[in-house]
Every structure is written in C-alpha cells, then in structure tokens.
C-alpha cells in the first residue's frame, strides 16, 4: 500500500462510516423491527387451523423466499411507478427489506413456537388461560429464547443485504463507497475498505448476540 | 362426606382417538373429601379420563358434573364457556410437572391467581408464600425451576394447583418421573392433602399409596372400569381375574 492509498483510506473513512451510521444501520434496524412484526403475524397465521389463513401465510413465505431480494427491491422501486405508484428510495428499501425479513423470520418463529413442549400449553390451560394469553405469557417468551440465535443471523444477513439499497439510490455505506470510488478511480482499495467496515459491524453484532444469549440462558439448565 | 351427594359425577363418558376407543362408557362418583385412585395397565385410559375431567380433552359422549357446576352433556355441542366452568373447578398435576421454565417458583404459583383469577397481587403472593412454606420450599421462592430437584419441582407443581383453590385435584402419575428416593416426599405431601379433606383423583402405580390413602380404588382396563371398591378389597382380594393379575404383576414384578 502506497502513501497515497493510505491517505485515501483515511480520507474516505469518515464519509463511508457516515453512510453506515445514517444509512445502513437505521435501514437495517427499522426494517428488522417491522419485519419481526410481520413475521409474528405470518407465523401465527401459518399455525392456524383455518386452511385459508394458513394458506395465505404459506403463499407469502414461499413467494418471499422463492424470489431474489434484488428483484423484490426493483419491483417496488422501479416497477410500481409504471402502475402509478411512486415510492421514494428509503420507503421502498424499508418495504422490501421488511417484507423479506417477514418471510424468513416467520419460519424461525413458527419453528420456535412449535419447539415449546405441549405440556406448557396444557399447564397454561389448567391455570385457566385462554389460548391468546397462554401464547403471550407462556409460549412466546420461551419461543423468543429459542429464536434468538437464528434471528440474530437473519439480522446480520440483513445488515449486509442493505448494500442492495445502493441500486435504488439510498445513500448507505456501499453507495457512499461507490461514489468515492468512481470519483477517485481507486476501486480495489475502497471496496476492500467497505468490506472491512461491514465486517467490523458484523463482528460487533455477533458479540452482542453472544451476550444476549447468555442473558436469556439464565433460566435454562446448562 | 356423603355418598349421596358426590363432588364429581361422571356418567357414560366415552372418548375415541380416530378408531381407537379409549374410554367406553365410564361412570365415576367421587364424594367430597375423598381420594380415588385410578390404577390399570398402560393404555387403559387413566390419563385420558383425567384429561376429560379438566377439559384438556373433549369427550365424545357422556356427562360430567363437578361440585355446583352444571352437568355438562358431551353428547351435544359444548361451548367454550361451559368447558371453562369445568376446567375452573379442577386443577391437574402432571407427570412431568410442566412448570413454566421462564418464571421463578413464586411466579409459577401466582400466575393463575393473578393473571387469570385477577386476585390482588399482594394477596396472591402472601398465599403462595404460605403454601410454599408449608411444603418446605419457601427458600426456593425466587429460584427458577431448572435449579430444583424433580421432587421439589413436583411439589411446586402441586402448590401451583392448590393456589387456584380448585374443588378437585387431579394427579396424573405424579411420581412416575421421579427418582425412587424422591417419590416419598411427593407422596407424603399428597397424603397430607388427603388428610386436610381435599378431593383427589389420582392415577398412580403406587399401590402402597392407594392402600394407605385412597378411599376407593378404581381398576381400569381397555377403557372400562373393571372393578372398584375399598383398597383392601380391590388390592387384597380382587373379584376380577384381570385385576388380580395386574396387582400381582405390580407387587411381584419378577
Ligand atoms: N392425543 C391422542 N391421540 C391419539 N391417541 C391417544 C391420544 N392420547 C391417548 N391416546 C391413546 O389412548 C390410549 C389410552 O391412553 P392413556 O394415556 O389414557 O392411557 P394410560 O392409562 O394413562 O396409560 P399409561 O399408564 O401409559 O399412562 C392409548 O392407546 C393412547 O395411545
Ligand atoms: Mg397415563
């Protein structure tokens, strides 16, 4: 690495990090929260005994998981305007990522709910709980514990996937890098720098995941 | 204690799972303040009978009435509220305890009284603490279930049931998941409860408990009640061959 390279890395570090702080991270957090709400609803629908309800959930999950995220993003941002529905870059990105997380996390949450032993439902019944109360107070807290590791992985994937939002003009970490790279012509060094920053963010998230799991483990035998 | 006015009355109860007829026309009367033990080989329908009494299963036909509640006829359609009335009069103690692992011992006990029965929290805590103290678990109040022995967990399971103030206590093989040395502490608690006048229906393989504590022993096989009577009679000199063989097998396994 030459001195010129090094000063470019240092100079570009703040603008790229700004892209992460103002773009990548909020985009990931907002989309993940909305996606989780969708996921719980879809998971409960999927578990419904009513065929139409579980059918709709099944269809949603299949559609989301069976199509590329990039295509979903393009349908919303570039496709919808042609039927008269123009959505700005940020809302488009949030919509696409939320819908996507909703599909993947729904399966995780469904599996987690099913992993709670039947005896827990029965004990809740015996103390007089309705199914709704049992779900909220007894089943979901236990399912949450089980779903933390896979949901953390979903979140980490999402953070990386937000780089796709650069294709619909959202100013996030990667788009910021692309602009500096196009201007300076130093593609290799700048894209490696972007990769490094993504990596650091993901390492921090993994560390956070470990701490969260330990905390949640307090009532489980080791 | 009057034979004329039983706390639990079951008539012609029937339940099938698919083509498997698990209960065929079961009649049962349990007078208030008495202990009835259900014995019988695996698959004879003991668990299913208990679950029907608590609304965990919905019988296909027959009637069930528990103390002051309506006589519920399962021949017709039974709505959820009626089933709820049945459930609210009894409490089940499970073979595998089924404590809530994410709640402390105290939280396990007060969950029903506070969340469902809407009793004031302080009152529920006071009651729960007194009950836990009685079973020698006051010190474990704030521990999570995983840190308790099986016998301690089952005693919490019993306290959780008592805290609901039910009319009827149902026990489904409450000691069969326990290590042998822990069986005694649970059985002696149950014996104590019987002495205090709780009405109990207990599915169990503990013949010694049946002999000492039960007012009536009911022997089931193939979904019917084959024989019933005083413990000394059913376990000591059974009238039916099937009963005799079952008791023999339990008493002399080798
Ligand atoms: N939910 C269910 N679905 C289908 N079959 C069931 C169900 N529950 C119980 N059965 C069947 O009903 C029969 C009676 O079971 P039950 O558990 O009531 O017997 P049990 O007397 O309690 O036996 P054990 O001593 O083994 O506990 C068995 O053949 C069992 O396979
Ligand atoms: Mg059983």
* Alpha-carbon gap, residue B82 to B72, rounded angstroms: 7
The verdict on a CB contact (< 8 Å) between A219 and B56 is no
End-to-end CA, chain B: 40
DSSP state of B13: E
For residue B75, the number of C-alpha atoms closer than 13 Å in the C-beta half-sphere is: 7
Which of A127, A218, A219 is facing B111, going by the closest CB pair?
A127
Name the 3-class secondary structure at B173.
Answer: coil
Q: Which of A34, A29, A99, A16 is nearest to A60 (CA)?
A: A99
Mean pLDDT score across all residues of chain A: 93
pLDDT per residue as tens digits for the range B93-128 = 999 999 999 999 999 999 999 999 999 999 999 999
**Distance from chain centroid for Cα B193:** 12
For chain B, how big is the Rg over CA atoms in Å?
Answer: 18
pLDDT of B4 higher than 70: no
- With contacts defined as CB-CB under 8 Å, which chain A residues touch B102? 141-142, 145, 219
Assess contact for B205 and B250: CB atoms under 8 A.
yes
Establish whether this prediction's ipTM goes over 0.90.
yes
Interface of B with A in 51-110 (CB under 8 A): 54-56, 84, 87-88, 91-92, 94, 96, 98-103
DSSP state of A83: G
* Alpha-carbon gap, residue A39 to A104, rounded angstroms: 8
pLDDT per residue as tens digits for the range A92-112 = 999 999 999 999 999 999 999
Query: For residue B107, what are its two tokens?
Result: 């939280």
B204 lines ligand 1 (CB under 6 A): no
Task: Look at residue A220 in the predicted model and tell me its pLDDT.
Answer: 66
pLDDT per residue as tens digits for the range B78-95 = 888 888 888 999 999 999
Closest atom of ligand 1 to B18 CA is: 4
Q: In what order do the strands lie in the sheet with B216-221?
A: B90-93, B168-172, B199-203, B35-39, B216-221, B224-229
Q: Which residues of A153-190 are buried (b: 16+ CB within 10 A; e: fewer)?
A: ebbbbbbebbbbbbbbebbbbbbbbbbbbeeeebeebb
**pTM exceeds cut of 0.80:** yes
CATH class of this structure's domain A3-221: mainly alpha
Query: For residue B218, what are its two tokens?
Result: 């009911």
**Residue identifier of the C-alpha nearest atom 10 of ligand 1:** B17
B59 lines ligand 1 (CB under 6 A): no
pLDDT per residue as tens digits for the range B161-181 = 999 999 999 999 999 999 999
Q: Which residues of B96-131 are buried (b: 16+ CB within 10 A; e: fewer)?
A: bbbbbbbbbbbbbbbbbbbbbeebeeeebbebbbeb
Domain ranges of chain A: 3-221
Assess contact for A181 and A142: CB atoms under 8 A.
no
Return the bridge partners of B219, or none.
Answer: B39, B227
B20 lines ligand 1 (CB under 6 A): yes
* Alpha-carbon gap, residue B160 to B93, rounded angstroms: 9
């Amino acid at each position: 690495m030459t001195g010129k390279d090094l000063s470019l890395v240092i100079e570009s570090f703040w603008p790229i990090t700004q892209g992460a702080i103002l773009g990548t991270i909020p985009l990931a957090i907002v989309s993940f929260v909305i996606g989780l709400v969708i996921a719980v609803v879809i998971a409960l629908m999927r578990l419904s005994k009513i065929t139409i309800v579980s059918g709709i959930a099944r269809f949603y999950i299949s559609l989301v998981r069976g199509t590329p995220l990039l295509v979903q993003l393009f349908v919303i941002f570039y496709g919808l305007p042609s039927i008269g529905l123009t959505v700005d870059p940020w809302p488009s990105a949030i919509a696409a990522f939320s819908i996507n997380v909703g599909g993947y996390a729904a399966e995780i949450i469904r599996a987690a709910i099913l992993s709670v032993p039947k005896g827990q439902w029965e004990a809740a019944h015996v103390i007089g709980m309705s199914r709704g109360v049992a779900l909220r107070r007894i089943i979901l807290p236990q399912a949450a514990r089980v779903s933390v590791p896979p949901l953390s992985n979903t979140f980490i994937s999402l953070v990386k996937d937000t780089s796709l939002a650069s294709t619909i003009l959202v100013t996030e970490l990667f788009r910021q890098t692309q602009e500096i790279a196009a201007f300076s012509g130093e593609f290799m060094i700048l894209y490696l720098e972007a990769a490094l920053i993504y990596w650091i963010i993901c390492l921090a998230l993994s560390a956070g995941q470990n701490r969260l799991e330990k905390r949640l483990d307090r009532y489980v035998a080791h | 204690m009057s034979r004329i006015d039983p706390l639990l009355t079951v008539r012609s109860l029937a339940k099938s799972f698919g083509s498997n007829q698990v209960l065929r026309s079961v009649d049962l009367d349990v007078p208030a303040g008495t202990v009835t033990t259900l014995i019988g080989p695996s698959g004879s329908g003991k668990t299913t009978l208990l679950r029907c009494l608590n609304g965990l299963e919905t019988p296909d036909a027959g009637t069930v009435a528990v103390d002051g509640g309506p006589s519920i006829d399962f021949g017709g359609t039974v709505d959820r509220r009626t089933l709820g009335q049945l459930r609210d009069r009894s409490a089940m103690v499970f073979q595998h305890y089924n404590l809530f692992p994410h709640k402390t011992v105290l939280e396990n006990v007060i969950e029903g009284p506070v969340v469902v029965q809407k009793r004031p929290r302080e009152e529920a805590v006071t009651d729960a603490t007194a009950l836990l103290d009685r079973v020698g678990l006051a010190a474990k109040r704030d521990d999570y279930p995983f840190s308790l022995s099986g016998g301690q967990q089952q005693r919490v399971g019993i306290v959780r049931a008592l805290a609901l103030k039910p009319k009827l206590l149902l026990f489904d093989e409450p000691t069969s998941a326990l290590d042998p040395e822990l069986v005694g502490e649970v059985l002696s608690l149950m014996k104590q409860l019987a002495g205090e006048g709780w009405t109990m229906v207990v599915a169990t393989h503990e013949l010694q408990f049946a002999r000492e504590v039960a007012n009536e022993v009911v022997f089931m096989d193939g979904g019917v009640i084959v024989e019933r009577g005083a413990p000394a009679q059913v376990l000591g000199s059974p009238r039916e061959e099937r009963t005799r063989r079952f008791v023999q097998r339990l008493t002399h396994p080798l």
